[in-house]
Amino acid sequence: MNENERDAKKLITGLRLLEPQVPHFDNPIKDVFRANLTIVGCAWVETTEGVVLIDTLNNEFAGRKAFEKVKGKIKYIIYTHGHGDHVGGARAFISDNPKIIANKYLPDRFDKYKMLAPHRGHITAVQFNMPDIPREANYVHPTDTFLGEMKINLGDKTFELYTERAETDDIVWVFVPELNAAFIGDLMIGSFPNIGNPWKPTRFALDWAKALEKIRAKEPYHVFCNGASYYYRGKRALAALDANIEVIRSLHDQVVKYINEGMHITEMIHRVKIPEHLERSPYLKKFYSRPEFFVYNVYRWYHGYFDDNPAHLIPCPEKKVIKLIFDLIGNDQKIIDKARELCDHNQFQLSLQVLDVLLQANPEHIEARKLRIELVHKLGEMDYCYMSRNAWVYYANKDIEFLKNQDITL
């Protein structure tokens, strides 16, 4: 674990996403104001004829706190994309009756969220280690949508809006030439880019790099990102853009090369590497996502499900096959012993996969559940990545709950 990864681990501690929080407010440059929560933020720009709000925080409570600062002045809200942490606070601002501008594809996202509410409740619980409850998706729809370019003139400022495909297919980023400032949503997040999420549809890595190159071409002096919770200025703004562009292009190109060589995805995720000179970049801290997720993502975008193994073309249900293999082994203890041996040699992931043969055949096996808790805790302790770390904790808690229900203490 390098310095960046240790820093990132500190950041995770104490994250309380579900508790109502009052945002932290600041005014980093003339006419630009921000409201920030733990990992989300929004910004507004004052003009001589009113305010343009870019993103809305993730919930109405925090949104109302920000609204108190701008009440009566909001002419436009711009959604940088349809993720809940950018649109979730919008209801707090609509009594000003602003125009709400978004990418043409954003309303489809809101429809999808409604359609998949139970599933999204579950995946959100795992990704953020939160209670497993259905996710409401009652977001405020845009009043105007567009594709390509759009310009808003308000008072003494111009707002250039551009649509892209990157983290999602409904991106809008904003450039204000009078301030030489770019507001780029989650196109950068102050850490290794979020290109790849085990629970989400594939993201658009190559288009993402191209979008950042378009922003770079403007040579912005100020860059606001991750909602607006990160702010870079001057040389650091350009350096952050450069580092993100280079890492995305490098990892993307490595995946393409390995696909063409016919490498299996489970080998590829371990083979693709961040270029050494970017490994410790302050702009690519490994906090939220991780390179393995990036690789899976690019692979899924370019590659079908089939891995060139005829056994996997139209496979039997996994449980049925594993049960058969377990019956051939015919011995719980053999599996437990091998998994324990691997665990003792710090091969936690391999141990987890060996143990899985027993757990798929007998999900209620007490000793196997106990060992899985130990393994998943070890994996979590070593993990710098917010998403995978949450997942390890989530699944360990599920096993602990199962054992408690059996009156078994650990």
Q: Which residues here bind Zn ion, judged by CB under 5 A? A: 83, 167, 186
Helix, strand or coil for residue 322? helix
Taking the least distance from each CB to Zn ion, the nearer of 15 and 265 is: 15
Judge whether 163 and 103 are in contact, CB under 8 Å.
yes
Minimum Å gap between C-beta 106 and Zn ion is 12
Q: How many angstroms separate the CA atoms of 25 and 62, rounded?
A: 11
CB atoms within 10 A of CB 167: 24
Taking the least distance from each CB to Zn ion, the nearer of 83 and 222 is: 83
Distances (CA, A) of 170 to 107, 165, 166, 213: 9, 6, 8, 18
**DSSP character for 25?**
E
Judge whether 194 and 85 are in contact, CB under 8 Å.
no
Minimum Å gap between C-beta 167 and Zn ion is 5
Taking the least distance from each CB to Zn ion, the nearer of 225 and 379 is: 225
Minimum Å gap between C-beta 1 and Zn ion is 26
Q: How many residues does the chain have?
A: 410
Q: How many angstroms separate the CA atoms of 24 and 31, rounded?
A: 17
**DSSP character for 170?**
S
Minimum Å gap between C-beta 278 and Zn ion is 22
Judge whether 326 and 363 are in contact, CB under 8 Å.
no
Residue type at 232? Y
Phi and psi at 44, nearest 5°, equal -135, 150
Taking the least distance from each CB to Zn ion, the nearer of 47 and 80 is: 80
Q: How many angstroms separate the CA atoms of 55 and 19, rounded?
A: 20
Q: Which two tokens mark 396?
A: 């360990």
Minimum Å gap between C-beta 200 and Zn ion is 10
Q: Which two tokens mark 173?
A: 């980023």
Distances (CA, A) of 164 to 42, 54, 149, 169, 293: 19, 16, 10, 7, 21
Q: How many angstroms separate the CA atoms of 410 and 386, rounded?
A: 26
Taking the least distance from each CB to Zn ion, the nearer of 227 and 380 is: 227
Taking the least distance from each CB to Zn ion, the nearer of 107 and 155 is: 107
Minimum Å gap between C-beta 83 and Zn ion is 4
Judge whether 174 and 159 are in contact, CB under 8 Å.
yes
Minimum Å gap between C-beta 84 and Zn ion is 9
Taking the least distance from each CB to Zn ion, the nearer of 32 and 171 is: 171
Minimum Å gap between C-beta 81 and Zn ion is 6
Taking the least distance from each CB to Zn ion, the nearer of 186 and 383 is: 186
The number of CA neighbours under 13 Å toward the Cβ of 349 is 6
Secondary element (H or E) of residue 126: helix 117-128
Minimum Å gap between C-beta 186 and Zn ion is 4
Taking the least distance from each CB to Zn ion, the nearer of 203 and 286 is: 203
Taking the least distance from each CB to Zn ion, the nearer of 112 and 370 is: 112
Minimum Å gap between C-beta 202 and Zn ion is 14
